[in-house]
Every structure is written in C-alpha cells, then in structure tokens.
C-alpha cells in the first residue's frame, strides 16, 4: 500500500483538527471545573458568614436577656434590703439580717 502525499496531508490535517477540538474541549472542561470550584468556594464563604452572623445574633440575644435578669435581680434585692431595714426598725430583724441582705445585693 502506497500512501500518497495528499493522503498524508489529509490525515495530518484531520489529526491536527481533532487535536485542536480536543484541546478546546479540555480547556472548556477545565474552565468549567475552575468556575464550579470558585462558585463552591464563594458559597462556602457565604454560608460561613451567615453562620457566624446567626451565632453572634443569638449570643447577643442571650447576653441581653442575662442583663435584663441581672437588672431585675438587683431591683428585687434592693427592695428586699429596704424591707429588711424597715423590719429592723420595727425590731423584728437584727442588724445581722440587714447585713446578710446587703451582702446578697
């Protein structure tokens, strides 16, 4: 079998074209993979930020509630101290009782 010069050129052109399209397809796949990787990283960062924001928000709510309870406790204990002082003046409670109430406050 004798291969002519024209057959060789046709085969070479065909393999060159297949190589170019294969390379372009490979580049396209690589670009898609890179894009998807970037999109996934972007989504991961967004998810992490939302998670951190939500955690901080609920921590702030918990701290606000602790502050409210503490302020309410102080108010109740101040009232209790006034009541204990009044009871001491009436002779029902001793100075020790007043000091204990002050210590609790």
DSSP 20-87: HHHHHHHHHHHHHHHHHHHHHHHHHHHHHHHHHHHHHHHHHHHHHHHHHHHHHHHHHHHHHHHHHHHH
Listed in sequence order, the residues at least 6 apart from 78 whose beta carbon sits closer than 8 Å to its beta carbon are 105
Q: What are the residue ranges spanned by the domains of the chain?
A: 5-104
Count CB-CB contacts under 10 A for residue 14. 10
Confidence label for 15 from pLDDT (cuts 50, 70 and 90): low
User: Residues 14-36: what's their mean pLDDT?
Assistant: 67
Mean pLDDT on 4-20: 55
Q: What is the pLDDT of residue 5?
A: 52
Question: pLDDT tens digits for 29-51?
Answer: 777 778 778 888 888 889 999 99
Percent of the chain with pLDDT over 70: 75
């Amino acid at each position: 079998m004798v291969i002519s010069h024209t057959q060789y050129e046709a085969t070479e052109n065909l393999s060159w074209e297949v190589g170019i399209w294969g390379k372009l397809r490979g580049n396209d796949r690589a670009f898609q993979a890179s894009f998807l990787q970037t999109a996934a990283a972007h989504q991961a960062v967004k998810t992490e930020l939302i998670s951190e924001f939500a955690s901080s928000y609920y921590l702030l709510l918990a701290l606000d509630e602790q502050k409210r309870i503490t302020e309410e406790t102080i108010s109740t204990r101040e009232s209790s101290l006034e009541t204990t002082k009044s009871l001491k003046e009436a002779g029902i409670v001793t100075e020790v009782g007043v000091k204990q109430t002050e210590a609790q406050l």
